[in-house]
Amino acid sequence: MGIVEQLRSKLGEAEFEQKTNEKLGEFHHLIRKESAQYLLALEIIGAKAQALSIAEAMQKNSQAMLHARVERVFEPRVFERGGEKSRAQRILLRDQSAGATLACFDAPSYAIEREVICSDLVEVGPAVFRKDEFHLMPQGHIKRVEKGERAKISDSALSGNFEGEITAVYGDFPYKGGQTRLGGGAAQLLMSAFEINDKSASARVVKWDSGGISKLLKKGMRVEIENGIRKNGEIHIGKWSRLVFERQHEERPKIGKIEIFEKNAVIEAGGKKIVFDDLRLAAIKFGIGQVPDAISPKTALELKKEYWIGKSLPENWERRA
């Protein structure tokens, strides 16, 4: 059920028609009735999402909130879109009704890197099912509501998911990573080593092909390890494992002003101006989604801009005017 039909059901036919005529009057009857109804629904219902099972959400063309277990976390992908770098991260979710892939882009994708591992129960949304997978909306979130099962370090023979507090950071060390694709010499990579304690025992952790992350790790920091492999009393993080921890990052600037023009939108945040030259792209970033051809994206954005005033500027929105 689309947001227009949701509003019709909520208000009843008589009140729905009355408000439609009022909205047509605001535009001096220069827009189509269907356009007025869409704008009315966007204004009243907006991006409010229903809590649905995965199977139900796959059948509806509306935004949904999902509660599901994480079955798999895929490698993040960085690509260019509109001349800017974007980041995509996909996870496989499953609840009692079905399983499906969720795609997160830009800011929400970093939450997976910081706080989610396999077996966790998460809340996700608003998300829309399109092209055989769910897409998290730009204003959406993914957060853990229940931790999955964790292995104890004291069970030295057990591989699995671990968590603990860093008690020592040993540093980054070079090693040879095997033959290159071109058949040349072995590539030099970095492995990082540190120690964690989960109150049952301590263990040295080795992360292979780490890129040199020791500078990000601090004594006392809590970390989680997905699919850690036990070897000689250590926990190894390899190709099919993940290290999850809260990255230190600067506080995002607050959005102070948004101006919507005929051909672009300008956002002021933290003393900078960010310009969206394509209003339909701006509508997607603002969480409105694809604006129907019959609707002016400028009008849709005007209805949504107050929501964003005072909010933190999402990551990867920066683009100077």
Residue 264 has pLDDT above 80, yes or no: yes
Q: Is residue 154 part of a domain?
A: no
Q: Is residue 313 part of a domain?
A: no
Q: Is residue 153 part of a domain?
A: no
The residue among 89, 124, 146 that closes a domain is: 146
The residue among 213, 244, 275 that closes a domain is: 244
pTM of the model: 0.64
99 shares its domain with 168? no
Structure tokens at 164: 């603990």
Residue 321 has pLDDT above 50, yes or no: no
Strand locations in the chain (E) = 50-51, 64-73, 77-81, 84-94, 99-105, 121-130, 133-146, 160-176, 188-197, 202-207, 222-231, 234-237, 242-244, 255-260, 265-269, 272-276
Domain of 178: which CATH number? 2.40.50.140
Q: Is residue 183 part of a domain?
A: yes
The residue among 244, 273, 289 that closes a domain is: 244
Check residues 105 and 208 and name the one with the higher pLDDT. 208
Q: What's the number of domains the chain is made of? A: 4
Q: Is residue 10 part of a domain?
A: yes
Give percent of the chain above pLDDT 70: 87
Q: Is residue 303 part of a domain?
A: yes
126 shares its domain with 186? no
Residue 320 has pLDDT above 50, yes or no: no
57 shares its domain with 142? yes
Structural domain boundaries enclosing 194: 160-244
Residue 298 has pLDDT above 60, yes or no: yes
126 shares its domain with 82? yes
Is 63 within 8 Å of 124 (Cβ atoms)? no
The mean pLDDT value for 141-148 works out to 89
Residue 99 has pLDDT above 70, yes or no: yes
The mean pLDDT value for 271-285 works out to 82
For 217-250, write each residue's pLDDT tens digit.
Answer: 999 999 999 999 999 999 999 988 999 987 655 5
35-39, 81-85, 235-239, 312-316 — which is least confidently predicted?
81-85
Give percent of the chain above pLDDT 90: 36
196 shares its domain with 239? yes
Residue 183 has pLDDT above 70, yes or no: no
Residue 196 has pLDDT above 90, yes or no: yes
Determine the pLDDT at residue 39: 78
Is 292 within 8 Å of 37 (Cβ atoms)? no
* pLDDT confidence band for 306 (50 / 70 / 90): confident
For 12-52, write each residue's pLDDT tens digit.
Answer: 899 999 988 888 877 767 677 887 787 777 777 655 677 89
d(CA 115, CA 136): 17
Residue with tokens 């507090």: 165
Q: Is residue 233 part of a domain?
A: yes
**How far from 273 is each of 84, 109, 133, 240, 258, CA to CA, in Å?**
16, 24, 34, 41, 10
Q: Is residue 317 part of a domain?
A: no
